[in-house]
Amino acid sequence: EICRYLLNQPKREAEMQHQVRLAIGNGLRPTIWEDFTQRFRIKQIGEFYGATECNCSIANLDGKVGACGFHSRILPNVYPIRLVKVNEDTMELIRGTNGLCISCQPGEPGLLVGRINQEDPLRRFDGYVNQNATNKKIAYNVFQKGDQAYLTGDVLVMDDLGYMYFKDRSGDTFRWRGENVSTTEVEGILSHILSKTDVAVYGVEVPGAEGKAGMAAIADPEAKLNPNVLFLEIQKALPPYARPIFLRFLPQVDTTGTFKIQKTRLQREGYNPHQMSDRLYFWDVKVGKYLPIDECIFERIQTGKIYL
């Protein structure tokens, strides 16, 4: 997110007068990767994936745009991690007739797992204080009968060469119109359309509707954005099921100290105009455009009088 904030700043002559040759971190979106390196003349980007308790950290040290890491397809067992197939709705592991997990082929999204070896400091998993939380992170009979593996909860995709790309985090998807929507992907696309603007995407429950409707909270401090002009770009970039049903324009999107988007308050408030004074819109199927939400419209949506 820091890279995106820097790209949002006005261009200055001094911005290339530096000795920085390498930038390393995690979460740099492919949509801004090349823009950042070209504008600020950064010769190399290093990207990594991992967590404190994770036993399957990976890294991209050769600047492959968009990749968060690499895993050899020639010698995969040297570093025993794997992408395995899961049920997209429940995130449950899918197993073959032998009872073991099924490895993903290149291009197939899968859950990243790492074999646990308590005798190896790099492969062990010590767990958490809460035993229930620990149990949820361990799967059995993954690579072979009797083994254990750490479940990251993250969905990645590997290409033919072995580069891995972050796709989604468990809990960051919602289902709408019978399709799974990745909030991470939609956020990246909307932010790109809006020239790196802060965007938070999440699902909200609508009475009488199956799944969750997509909602996007967009930073618009000067209140200049027109939702229907924005939709002209949205329909080019997103399939119908992934297009936000609700839009919320607010002065700024809540972030952490490291600029990560916070969605808890946004999800709690939903599209209820009683909870906020921000501009709210919904996609009216009959009219074919975004219309403002007031108390009356909100009640009609809640009672099913407006079809989404």
- Domains in the chain, please, with CATH? 1-169 (3.40.50.12780), 174-303 (3.30.300.30)
- Give the pLDDT of residue 89: 67
| pLDDT score of 256 | 76
* pLDDT (tens place) for every residue of the chain, 308 residues total: 788 888 888 999 899 999 999 999 988 888 889 999 999 999 999 999 998 889 999 999 999 999 999 999 999 989 999 999 998 767 789 999 999 999 999 999 999 999 999 999 889 999 988 898 899 899 999 999 999 999 998 999 999 999 999 987 766 788 898 888 989 889 999 999 998 899 999 999 999 888 899 999 999 999 999 999 999 999 999 999 999 999 999 999 988 776 778 888 899 999 999 999 999 999 999 999 999 999 999 999 999 899 88
pTM of the model: 0.69
Could you tell me the two tokens for 157?
């995709």
3-state secondary structure of 263: coil
| Alpha carbon 73 to chain centroid, angstroms | 25
| Whole-Å CA distances, 299 to 3, 116, 223, 296 | 41, 52, 25, 5
Exposure letters 72-85 (e unless 16+ CB within 10 A, then b):
eeeeeeebbbbbbb
Distances (CA, A) of 260 to 48, 60, 217: 16, 21, 14
